[in-house]
Amino acid sequence: MEKVNKQFKYFTGILIVSIITISGLFHFPIHITEALTLETLPEYDFHISIWRIVFEPILGLMLFFNRGIYAIDEMQFGLYWVLIIFIVYSIIKFIIAKDYSLKKKFIINQLVNLPLVIILWFVFFVIILFMSPYLPSNTIINNSPNTILVTTHSHSQFSHDGLISQENLWKWHKYNNFDAFFITDHNTHEQTLDFVQSQRDGNFPMEPLVMGGEEFSGSNHLSLLGLKRKFDTHGYSDSTVIDSTRANNGVVIVNHWFDGERNSLEFYKNLAVDGFEIENTATETSYDRKVYHKIKEFCEENGLIMNVGLDFHGYGNVCTAWNAMEIPAWHKLSPKKKEEAILDVIKSRDQSKLKILMYTDRPYYTNEHLFWSPVFTFFNYFRTLNLIQVLSWIFWILLFAFLNSKVSKNEEFKNKITTNKLITVTGIISALFMLWLGFSYHSEIQNVLNSDNDVYKEYSTILFYVGGAFLVYSTVVAFFRFKKNS
């Protein structure tokens, strides 16, 4: 036992020294990059939530994985690495164990634990993907006196694939320090205009300002921004819908053209669109630099404006991009004048008045060797930590080491609090969390009965079945493990 405790102390020391070394010698400062010029913009800073700092080893890692360029694929490969480490550890422990009965007992426990490990990683993935609006992510601080932060592409639950209410979408933009945002639900803007009017009537604060829009599913997805009256776009051609938007004194942006490239850039120029998304944080193909340069050169040659689309649906990436528009005396303007000023920036097609801000917390990488990406993600995560975040890690490591030392010295505690029991209880809690999330989504179905939303039903069903299966398995394992102890 003394040998094991000594090895654990060595491991604790090595872990602390490694974190300090990586964050110190290989430090990568988080910064804002202008997407078109790749310049670092010192007039923007970040606020780190106290909740993230306190629980940095959990929340910090979750948020860093969430911001990955290929986050979903990286989570898949992350599971592969967890399984590889689990299997290698099991093999080494099996070889080291000298008693045959202990070997047999250990391998049985590890086989039982394997599904529990998969359960925990799946829940880790669910939290990163579906709970991202509620994680304490870093928020931008705008120190530029004449620029405001705007979203031109976001979705509420009235989109077929949205998982967030209009009220919570407004709160999300407020938390992320936006000054204004357009709601661009798929092929509808009726509920959006009602929400805009509710804000103008004083039913909730004017900041951030809500504006009407729609993402029209034509030959390509088009953002129709600045809509003032209700009209149906179903079955209409691109040109007809664009004409209707112009009649509303609105503007038209081509969204994520790089995702499919159904028609040429020239085709949309001839339709008299105002510009193109050059980045889209919900579409990883936006990071294909060849396509990026193609759009950039075309827009510059033809006098079209470029912007970034968050394409936020109430899940997925936390906020990592902003449109910074130059609008002096913003706070002195009325809501109507504010919206007109935003639309005028886009109509002017003057790129100097619209900067595309990108959150940069790691070096750029492609999707060629994603199998190794979890390793580099961990390394890059520790590179970004500041002193307070490092101290948070050290605190939790030392607390864990202290508790482990106390338990290992007490035979009664050691028999009651085992790794096998802890992972089983965590599995039960994780399954209950999935069932709760499934119930939450199911309860929202009644709020979107008159819309095209189909993801509440789809995801709630998946979470009910998966969460139920996980709960049954974890409960059965817990029953036998705790019964055996008693």
Instruction: Establish if 405 belongs to a structural domain.
Output: no
Residue 262 pLDDT > 80, yes or no?
no
Instruction: Establish if 78 belongs to a structural domain.
Output: no
Render pLDDT for 46-69 as a digit per residue (tens, 0 to 9): 999 999 999 999 999 999 999 998
Closest CA to 366 of 284, 259, 256: 284
User: What is d(CA 240, CA 261) in angstroms, rounded to the nearest whole number?
Assistant: 21
Residue 8 pLDDT > 80, yes or no?
no
Instruction: Establish if 480 belongs to a structural domain.
Output: no
Residue 382 pLDDT > 90, yes or no?
yes
Domain of 208, in residue numbers = 138-360
Q: Is the omega angle on the peptide bond into residue 208 within 30 degrees of 0, that is, cis?
A: yes
Q: What is the CATH number of the domain that holds 242?
A: 3.20.20.140
Closest CA to 323 of 7, 23, 44: 44
Instruction: Establish if 334 belongs to a structural domain.
Output: yes
- Dihedral over Cα of 27, 33, 37, 41: its sign: negative
Instruction: Establish if 99 belongs to a structural domain.
Output: no
Residue 20 pLDDT > 80, yes or no?
yes
- Assign 228 a pLDDT band (cuts: 50, 70, 90): very high
Instruction: Establish if 259 belongs to a structural domain.
Output: yes
User: What is d(CA 52, CA 58) in angstroms, rounded to the nearest whole number?
Assistant: 8
User: What is d(CA 23, CA 15) in angstroms, rounded to the nearest whole number?
Assistant: 12
pLDDT computed for residue 102 by the predictor: 84
Instruction: List residues bridging with 254 in a β-sheet.
Output: 222, 276
User: What is d(CA 76, CA 56) in angstroms, rounded to the nearest whole number?
Assistant: 23
Instruction: Establish if 292 belongs to a structural domain.
Output: yes
The continuous run of DSSP H or E covering 279 comes out as strand 275-280
pLDDT computed for residue 407 by the predictor: 76
- Assign 374 a pLDDT band (cuts: 50, 70, 90): very high
pTM: 0.93
Query: For residue 59, what is the DSSP state?
Result: I
User: What is d(CA 380, CA 378) in angstroms, rounded to the nearest whole number?
Assistant: 6
Please check whether residue 404 is in contact with residue 440, taking contact to mean a CB–CB distance below 8 angstroms.
no
Instruction: Establish if 406 belongs to a structural domain.
Output: no
pLDDT computed for residue 223 by the predictor: 97
Considering its fold, how many domains does the chain have in total? 1
